[in-house]
Amino acid sequence: MSERWEQVAQAPLAKPQESADVAIIGAGPAGLTAAARLRKLSPEAKVVVLERERQAGGIPRHAFHQGYGLRDLHTSLSGPDYAEKLTDAAASAGADLRLRTQVTGWSADGALELTSPGAVAHLYARAVVLASGCRERPRSARMVAGSRPAGVMTTGTLQQLVYLNEQSPGTRAVVVGAEHVAFSAVATLAHGGARTVAITTELPRHQSYAAFRWGAAARYGTVSNSRTALPVTPLRVLTRTAVTEIHGSERVTGVTVLDLTRGQSRLIECDTVIFTGDWIPDHELAVSAGLVLDIGTRGPRVDGALRTARAGLFAAGNVLHGAETADVAALCGRHVAGKVADFLGGERWPRAFVPIECAAPLHWVSPGAIEIAPAFAGDRAGEPPAAPPRGHYLLRAREELIDARIAISQDTRALGSARLPRVMPGRSASLGTKWVSAVDPSGGPVVIRVTKARSR
Ligand SMILES: Cc1cc2nc3c(=O)[nH]c(=O)nc-3n(C[C@H](O)[C@H](O)[C@H](O)COP(=O)(O)OP(=O)(O)OC[C@H]3O[C@@H](n4cnc5c(N)ncnc54)[C@H](O)[C@@H]3O)c2cc1C
């Protein structure tokens, strides 16, 4: 054992115990916005935000393009400027931001276990908000055959490489996936001097806004970067196309793509492969808290007030589902703050929850439960269930459905219906809440299904 390791091994670990009114896990847009709002609603409350990184702000810290803050701040900022604004708002509202502090689990008596350089500690909080975000599934989880050369990464890693470390990602890239974040990857690749030679998706169409796709094509279809002086090439979105194999020993040399319509394979030469989308919530703390994950979102199941099945534990932002945009996560944080303030003010936890399930080809709905009011609900007895953030449910499908007729039922009873212009993967449709008040607290799960739709 080296001298340094001996010192570390012998150093006594401080295990201070501390308490707070609210602990927020994660200083991304959801956690920071929740903290700022909570301090306004409950000025006496001690609100601690726990963040494992050296800097607060979450993912926007390393997404340098514009477009952050539209819905929550009503302006368009770069990711870092947006992150800084939200951090300043939380700090100036009086939230206690603890950086380099990882929440590693729960003690047997319900405290949060914290690890920061040189110390471990227990934090007892009356309410906890899980705002740990989501991540893209790495290549290893996507079952793509081939070797394991350098040059294969997710968009999150790409952004850190290019913007935080100012390194070049490569010169010719294939981007796998075609939701919003794929076009963000194209922008980041161009910034780092790499040309995107193809975007692939197994679906018949990209899942972003047409403006993003055409904007990216117009701006990044050609790369005139002084570092690389790359020739002019159109940006290609290859639909109904799967990446089936990655080639290269030390560095990627190409990918095999399969045209799913014609059944033909071909090689695309590239030195970089970016896996985008295919999100998985950072749900480890939800699992270790004993919560059941929603089968569709893989996040903790919550009701409209973002309450989980564990009393005092709320969840907000992208830990609830695959990625929504940052402003949507921030508004979710604002929503949860009001509900946490009600809880601190004495509102009782629901007795139980009625789950909301989706029948295929629908994929998930969020929030995924409706609360059953406690036996004694005080002044709030008889009130309708809590409305979800921004007043609607988020709904996604596994395939693109046009003019979808939606039926909502419980057991054999129809609760309501809706007609949605488009339900798809990678981008949420909004489902209204009129049907919620008809839910029977003693009935079975609510089921959302498609009765009629056109597919592309
Ligand atoms: C590559 C990429 C590009 C994107 N581009 C855009 C875009 O252009 N525009 C847009 O609006 N949105 C974009 N998004 C989506 C946007 O970044 C997210 O919606 C937003 O950041 C979600 O906020 P959040 O607070 O839920 O989670 P995050 O921003 O992910 O923040 C979660 C925080 O929790 C911390 N954390 C997690 N676990 C722990 C723990 N156990 N202990 C302590 N801290 C913990 C993390 O370190 C992180 O800082 C992009 C996302 C990605 C991945």
Query: Probe ligand 1: pick from 59, 78, 189, 209, max atoms within 8 Å of CB?
Result: 59
Answer whether 297 contacts ligand 1 (Cβ < 6 A). Answer: no
Count of structural domains within the chain: 3
Q: Is the CB of 366 under 6 A from ligand 1?
A: no
Q: 347, 372, 388: which is the final residue of a domain?
A: 347
Cβ atoms of residues 173 and 194 within 8 Å = yes
Nearest Cα neighbor of 180 from 74, 327, 306, 75 is 327
Shared-domain flag, residues 343 and 408: no
Do 101 and 143 fall within a single domain?
A: no
User: 381 falls in which pLDDT band (50, 70, 90)?
Assistant: low
pLDDT for the residue 403: 97
Single-letter code of the amino acid located at 375: A
Confidence of residue 2 (pLDDT cuts 50, 70, 90): very low
Nearest CA to ligand 1 atom 14: 325
| Cα–Cα distance list, 165 to 52, 62, 289, 371, 443 (Å) | 19, 10, 35, 46, 54
Q: 25: Cβ below 6 Å to ligand 1?
A: yes
The answer to whether residue 260 scores a pLDDT higher than 60 is yes
> Could you give the CA distance from residue 106 to residue 79 in angstroms, rounded to a whole number?
32
Q: Whose CA is nearest to atom 5 of ligand 1?
A: 181
> Looking at 246, 275, 304, which one is the last position of a domain?
275
Mean pLDDT of the chain: 89
Q: What percent of the chain has pLDDT over 70?
A: 89
Domain that holds residue 120: 1-137+279-347
Condensed to tens digits (0 to 9), the pLDDT of residues 124-154 reads 999 999 999 999 887 777 778 777 899 999 9
Closest C-alpha to ligand 1, atom 22: 326
Q: Give me the amino acid identity at 423.
A: V
CA–chain centroid gap for 381, Å, is: 34
* Ligand 1: nearest atom to the Cα of 155: 1
Contact 35 CB / ligand 1 (< 6 Å): no
- Sign of the CA dihedral running 369, 372, 374, 377: positive
Ligand 1 lined by 28 (C-beta under 6 Å) = yes
Longest dimension (CA), the chain: 71
Q: Per-residue pLDDT for 423 more than 80?
A: yes
DSSP 76: -
Which atom of ligand 1 lies at the shortest distance from residue 29's CA? 25
282: helix, coil or strand? Answer: coil
Residues 230, 307: one domain?
A: no
Ligand 1 and 59: CB distance under 6 A: yes
Q: Are residues 78 and 64 in the same domain?
A: yes
pLDDT tens across 262-280, in order?
Answer: 999 999 999 999 999 888 9
Confidence of residue 3 (pLDDT cuts 50, 70, 90): very low
Cα distances (angstroms) measured from residue 278 to each of 176, 253, 275, 396: 10, 24, 8, 13
pLDDT tops 70 at residue 11:
no
How far does residue 441's CA lie from ligand 1's centre (Å)?
35
Rounded to whole angstroms, the Cα distance separating 20 from 194 reads 47
The pLDDT score that the predictor gives to residue 447 is 98
Hey, what are 301's tokens? 């199941």
Residue 207 scores a pLDDT above 80: no
DSSP string across 300-352: B---TT-B-SSTTEEE-GGGGSSPPPHHHHHHHHHHHHHHHHHHHTTPPPPSE
Average pLDDT over residues 110-124: 93
Among the listed ranges 18-32, 34-48, 375-389, which one has the minimum average pLDDT value? 375-389
Residue where one domain finishes, among candidates 251, 275, 299 = 275
pLDDT of residue 214: 57
Are 249 and 299 contained in the same domain?
no
Residue 288 and residue 382 in one domain: no
- Whether residue 223 is predicted with pLDDT greater than 60 in this model: the reply is no
Say if residues 332 and 316 touch (Cβ distance below 8 Å): yes
How remote is the C-alpha of 240 from its chain's centroid? 25
Same domain, 232 and 336: no
- Tens digit of each residue's pLDDT (9 = 90 or more) over 66-78: 889 999 999 999 9
pLDDT band at 205 (very low <50, low <70, confident <90, very high): confident
Question: Does the C-beta of 20 come closer than 6 Å to ligand 1?
Answer: no
Q: Which is the closest atom of ligand 1 to the Cα of 26?
A: 34
CA distance linking residue 454 with residue 448, whole number of Å: 17
Q: Looking at residues 43-64, what average pLDDT do you find?
A: 95
pLDDT higher than threshold 80 for residue 216: no
List, for residues 180-197, the tens digit of each pLDDT value.
Answer: 889 889 989 999 999 999
Quick one: pLDDT at residue 229?
A: 40
Q: What is the pLDDT of residue 141?
A: 72
How remote is the CA of residue 64 from the centroid of ligand 1, in Å? 14
| Same-domain status, 21 and 6 | yes
Mean pLDDT of 377-396: 83
- Give the number of the atom of ligand 1 that is nearest the alpha carbon of residue 156: 1
- Whole-number Å distance, alpha carbon 283 to ligand 1 midpoint, is 13
Q: What is the pLDDT of residues 320-355, one digit of tens each?
A: 998 999 999 999 999 999 999 999 999 999 989 999
Q: Are 201 and 258 members of one domain?
A: yes
Q: What is the CATH number of the domain that holds 337?
A: 3.50.50.60
In angstroms, the CA 188 to CA 198 distance is: 15
State if pTM tops 0.85: yes
Q: Is the pLDDT of residue 222 over 50?
A: no
Same domain, 212 and 116: no
Residue nearest to atom 35 of ligand 1 (CA): 26
389 Cα: distance to centroid of ligand 1 (angstroms): 18
Q: How confident is the model at residue 410 (pLDDT cuts 50, 70, 90)?
A: very high
pLDDT band at 292 (very low <50, low <70, confident <90, very high): confident
Residues 146 and 156 in one domain: yes
Atom of ligand 1 nearest to the CA of 332: 26
Q: Is the pLDDT of residue 318 over 70?
A: yes
Q: Which residue has the tokens 């992150």?
A: 83
Lowest mean pLDDT among 149-158, 226-235, 399-408, 422-431: 226-235
Place of tokens 């796998």: 176
86 lines ligand 1 (CB under 6 A): no
My answer on whether 293 and 268 are in the same domain is no
